[in-house]
Amino acid sequence: MISTEVLSEVLGFEVSHCQMRGNNEVSIFKGGRTSASQFINIYELAHKCKEWAMPMYLVSGYDNNFFCSINKGWSDEVTPSTFYGNTEPEAIFKACQWILDNKEQQ
């Protein structure tokens, strides 16, 4: 699942917590609300994450496992890690967490 830190960065507002709703929807909670303030399809959220990561270029797909690799811009320079998940969005969320955690080094 995506962290609230990454979710807050991607959506542009403070997210207090989130949870999966069914297989394809994420419930997003702002502040201390007890009811979700927004719902988003997990694949739409994964796409928003790829847009947020620019100018890094996230390449994701399936090759015996779901993966997401990070290219710096459109060059051939690639980070040393490829991120894997049980789903393509999960791999994308892991890559975005890495970007956020290493933001100062870029």
Spatial CA neighbour of 78 closest among 99, 56, 60? 56
Give the whole-angstrom CA distance, residue 101 versus residue 88. 20
Which long-range contacts link 77-86 to residues 24+ away (Cβ below 8 Å)? Answer: none
Domain residues of the chain, as ranges? 4-105
Angle at 90 between CA 18 and CA 1, to 5 degrees: 25
CA–CA distance, 55 with 57 (Å, rounded to integer): 6
Band (10; pLDDT cuts 50, 70, 90): very high
pTM over 0.75: yes
Q: Which two tokens stand for residue 87?
A: 């789903």
Q: What is the pLDDT of residues 14-72, one digit of tens each?
A: 999 999 998 899 999 987 777 778 999 999 999 999 999 998 889 999 999 999 998 87
